[in-house]
Structure 1
Amino acid sequence: MASATLTIHPRRPVTDETTVADHALSSLHELAQQDQERARLRETAIQTYMPLASRLARSFHGRGEDLDDLMQVAMLGLIKAVDRFDPERGVAFSKFAVPTILGELKKHFRDSAWSLHVTRRMQELHLQISRAQPTLTQELGRSPSVADIAKHLELSEAEVLAGMECGGAYNTRSLNSPVTVDDGAIELGQLIGAPDDRMESVPDRQALRQHVSELPAREQRILYLRFFEDLTQSQIAKKLGISQMHVSRLLSQSLSALRGRLLAEV
């Protein structure tokens, strides 16, 4: 199969790079995927519109993402725009490419720039609020309140508060990050307390206290003497005037009953 060739209008020389790229784009869809001329025209179009992708990437700089990463995302959007562009629709390439590139950049922020998992709805809500705050600050001459933002975005105040709170998931810090304290630099993780076993056991101890209070008074007394006074079974038997074997039996029955009641709540 003979390869097609690009024909620039013979009566009007083309010198503008953008015009050359537009002519290349108009011919891309007519050429076969394997055609070497198509690959050359595609490369011409991409290189010509790289400044557009770069400009859009820079407009997102300063939001916590590395500029090089944003450039790569914008270039991906540009390549998608070149490959998907259909000149027969009568729309200029730039008008098709800009929303395509912006879509890739916004998708990158939604899916990749959040350190913790946040739903797509909450991510978009946070971005809406972030964009609205500078505008409202300029219009009102002061920092906008939650009510101001809610009215501007036609949202409830609860939705605005939720969107503002989820911003904490956007940037997180590693526990190995250095922080400065009076004694010098240490890691952030060293400032975070370890789990407190006594605090963790509070619910269990509360439940145990309730179940112990439901036992007969003598059984409660035996448990107290054994586990709080640390007396032996013989000492308890002498103190209560009963046999050591009886103390052992009552103690075993009480512990078995408490164990069963606690396990039943799990």
Structure 2
Amino acid sequence: MASVTHDSLTEQTTVDASQTVCDLPWVADAGKVAPRDAKSLSKVFFDRLQTLEEGTHEYQYARNTLIEMNLSLVQFAARRFRNRGNGEMDDIIQVGTIGLIKAIDRFELSREVEFTTFAVPYIVGEIKRFFRDTSWAVHVPRRLQELRTELAKARDELSDVLDRDPTVKELAELLDLSEDEIIEGLVAANGYTAGSLDTPNADSDDAPTGTGGRAYADILGDIDPAMELTENLHALAPLLAQLDDREKRILQMRFGQEMTQAEIGNELNVSQMHVSRLLNRILAKLRAGMLTEH
């Protein structure tokens, strides 16, 4: 008979080697096994778990014992999030346990890494995902988060009595707050969820019946490249007028007729290199003028 003790408990937790399940020692209360002992026992259980058939009673015993023995890892990870202000600690422990189970199902002794090192990122990852999925879309002070709940209850209560949506003044009187505080709470409540641009816009005038309207993304304004081109052409026109006839002709051949530099050189009876220098000089002049205009 071997026994181990949990650091925070006075009673002993029994690990009885004389009672076995699938050649594994029977752990009377796996949740009370001290972390130090859980570390060594876990290696024994993981080694046997890999040889057992999933779904059998023996497999479930080994897996469940591993979960219970290593719940202290979840407690350890959860303490990092106790001051986040979102969710109850029980919820954090629950989602952290999901991470622990995932780690147990994916751990292999051949990894040559301690299970604690392997498991903690899984546990923390699940907890972070919980906060990501349930937290406010933007940071809102705790008092305003609590006010949102109070406002929701007050609006429901007054709506039933008044048979209409209550005014800010009526909400303020019921909650014994100033109207400014009510307005601040109503504005902050918009940060609880982030609306998707794919959400149908039911107010769209041209929405087909029964479709709920087009998505907001479909009706949002966007930059029109044609407008920018029009503005550039308006700015460019007076600059083009300042060029001499030869420079205008070169631009016309290059960009209007899409002639190559070699073809332009033959037309002007100059080298291709000279045409390149002329084009660079003309374009530099226009570019400088455009920058000055803007």
Range into which the TM-score falls when normalised by the shorter chain: 0.3 to 0.5
Higher relative contact order by CA 8 Å / sep ≥ 6: 1 or 2?
1
TM-score w.r.t. the length of structure 2 is 0.39
